[in-house]
Chain A
């Protein structure tokens, strides 16, 4: 055993896995390299980034090889470190390419984290000036991060010497993972196949819109780029004004696929592939998810129409698009909503805390946790009046374990705590550096980062960028994205004394 006596965690074993994962993940730089090659741009930044990350990852894996018995504890460390390392891999091509908008390591790391965590907030002030290869790398990193790096590893890699189920539990969004087969690797595979299939379908639709002249802007390059960031509800765009650059029909297509991206993939697999649409129709989370999307859209549309910001179909389209994009934590925009009335903006901040379904590509709290929290509260009230009554909480007729319920409650508390802390730190730091950031803006930035939405209000709005923020604030926002993507707990566990000691 290579474990030091005072540590209860096999750090070396964890590093071994992280190194292996990074080494494999570095192969993904070949995709933007190919794009760069095709457009006659320099290829070396991608190859160098891939070689460096692959070299470091491989070296770590080699240096730490041995007989490791990895357990639940190491899982937290593996997942947390893997995602930090993935963001670093994401940053390398930006640094090597020397583009003035992204070549500072802190900025590049922010962009890398915003990519893999599918947040979509950018430090870049004008994306249209970036080379094509770099643009595609931004989009592709979001696609890789969308359903999860470890899910990908489980599906593709020959063998991970660790309990894949635990790792997956930390990475897959939601309180519990839903399996599609007895072997976790088959579940990972099926989820990825569905993910790829949805991406291909959307790409096909985009290209068809372009080919039929409905949307002249949606060339195959942009079609692939946006297919890569719509299904994972990620939000990076190759256009300065995001989806606004495309035709209204495209807006509706994007709305539909953002909604799909927010549905539990296991449920979607059952409904589509196994032809059990009933399970989907009856699913309580899916119903609430769709109901909340409809309600949020209705409020936003009503607000902007009655306040004469927009009217007619334009109000309907922009309202629905913005509500859906915000709730599914995508972060695309079709209108600069900074000037929208206060109630609409409040609604959008509220939607940031909803998110999509568990097991989807969205960030934030997730609908199922809200659903369970509501049931917990209802039970609490009943039990105050009738102390002896025994009321199991059910989800889709199945009893939810008390442990899970406690985890949901503490997750929501922790989530809100971190959000408040993040907003406070950003506001204080803005005051320190003289950045003009209203309290509401700070709140929206913290919520947007933690929920992996992307754009916020004020300077971080849909047409703005996070470039004006100080280096310290940039790091804080990067941390919020990381916490949000892994749903807080696996990272918070690491700062506990009980984690490291036996």
Chain B
């Protein structure tokens, strides 16, 4: 495919990284240095210019493009770029990144002529709510309208002893789930029955939402249901998370340093309790018993503030902390210094966009561990070579079918079940095998 990527910031760069191998990319940006950094690393064409300009887009050959991804940090530029693209070339699919959830609503109601819109804030909120829905999960995602869930766990010595060091075939694992990958050091194994899980491993499971919960309980015994969440920072991201959690019936307290913003959010979210405070005052944390919350989420704009706030919350005894991280390089620092989960909105946005950029049959794609692995959601063609084969006999290496959706219902296959035409298969695979898997099915 010929893909135009407008904006070479963090989101743009992540998208380029994920797509440059398989596709022909043209990257637009106003900043020469950003483009230089990208063209040094990847074999892509770069254009220094305004992607929201018809002249620039036409000159670059917009009519030849299959897909246009507008992912600058400015919503309006992205929308204008997509609209100009639609006007010049009807066949070009457009994806727009927005930070304003209102545009998402407008688009859903069919009032924006854009094929796909990704809101960083809303995606981040989903990511966080999924994470705290299964407290021990590092990253989770849902497929098949929520019937299939994927979760990534860090296994520690605290995990249930019946799990550790036991061959997967013999271990009593939660029903309706499969271990999709075991990441140990630099190696990633798509396990067969003779593998086992050890402390220090990171594992990826695919299964029903109930089994994901059960896995959470196995990996981190004693983590109960979340009822009380404190969010530091009531910006767009913090508010989006709060709204999502409130919808799930979870009590939310928001702490916001700006008086006007605090007032605005308090009026927007009547069920939440909003405080006008920095969140760094120990007296305040003590008085309002902030540490008693099940989860503390740090959604301030400044990574360092989030880091400090999370550390302070840990000192005060908060058991589970989640931080939104804007700079990819701080992500590692935060995770290594005790913050339980970090979420990078730009990475999440890029993932969402890349997911859409794949084969039209591929509804959803998740990037794991950089871009080495992906989870695909593929509908089986009638002529597929796998139809009629039992799962245990499938010859694909480096791929695993975690679940299939048959007649709208999720089925978690046993080894002698067979694949039928029309089944939607949720497949965990190495990135370089994606075309191979897509072709085979």
Contact = CB atoms under 8 A, between A and B. Distances in A.
B275 A392 contact: no
B276 A388 contact: yes
Q: Summarize A's interface: helix, strand, loop or mixed.
A: loop
B273 A389 contact: yes
Interface residues of A, number: 9
B384 interface: no
A301 B226 CA distance: 52
Contacts of A399: 267
A389 B274 contact: yes
B23 to A, nearest CB: 48
Nearest to A393: B267
B42 interface: no
A385 to B, nearest CB: 9
A310 B284 CA distance: 60
Interface string A330-345: 0000000000000000
Contacts of B274: 389-390
A399 B274 CA distance: 14
Interface residues of B, number: 15
Interface string A384-406: 00101111101001010000000
A403 to B, nearest CB: 13
Contacts of B270: 394, 397
Contacts of A386: 275, 287-288
A390 B288 contact: no
B392 interface: no
Interface in B264-306: 266-267, 270, 273-277, 284, 287-288
B316 to A, nearest CB: 16
A391 B284 CA distance: 17
B45 interface: no
Interface in B385-416: none
Contacts of B90: none
Contact of A392 (B256, B266, B284, B287): B266
Nearest to A386: B288
B83 to A, nearest CB: 32
A389 B288 CA distance: 10
A392 B276 CA distance: 12
Contacts of A394: 267, 270
Nearest to B279: A388
A391 B263 CA distance: 8
Nearest to B256: A390
B246 to A, nearest CB: 15
Contacts of B288: 386, 388
A388 B254 CA distance: 11
Contacts of B262: 390
Contact of B267 (A388, A389, A392): A392
A501 to B, nearest CB: 32
Contact of A391 (B256, B266, B277): B266
Given A394-B270, A397-B270, A388 B263 contact: no
A392 B267 CA distance: 6
A388 B277 contact: yes
Contacts of B259: 390
Q: Which of A389, A390, A391, A397 has the largest count of B CB atoms less than 10 A from its CB?
A: A390
A388 B259 CA distance: 10
Interface string B235-275: 00000000000000000000010010011001100100111
Nearest to B287: A386
A11 B270 CA distance: 46
Contacts of B284: 388
A392 B273 contact: no
A153 B84 CA distance: 54
A316 to B, nearest CB: 41
Nearest to A391: B266
Interface string A36-78: 0000000000000000000000000000000000000000000
A284 to B, nearest CB: 14
A389 B274 CA distance: 6
Contacts of B276: 388-390
A2 to B, nearest CB: 42
A391 B259 CA distance: 12
Contacts of A390: 256, 259, 262-263, 266, 274-276
Given A386-B288, A397-B270, A392 B263 contact: yes
Interface of B: 256, 259, 262-263, 266-267, 270, 273-277, 284, 287-288
6 contacts: A386-B287, A386-B288, A388-B288, A390-B259, A390-B276, A391-B266
Interface of A: 386, 388-392, 394, 397, 399
Given A389-B274, A390-B263, 15 more contacts: A386-B288, A388-B275, A388-B277, A389-B273, A389-B276, A390-B259, A390-B266, A390-B275, A390-B276, A391-B266, A392-B266, A394-B267, A394-B270, A397-B270, A399-B267
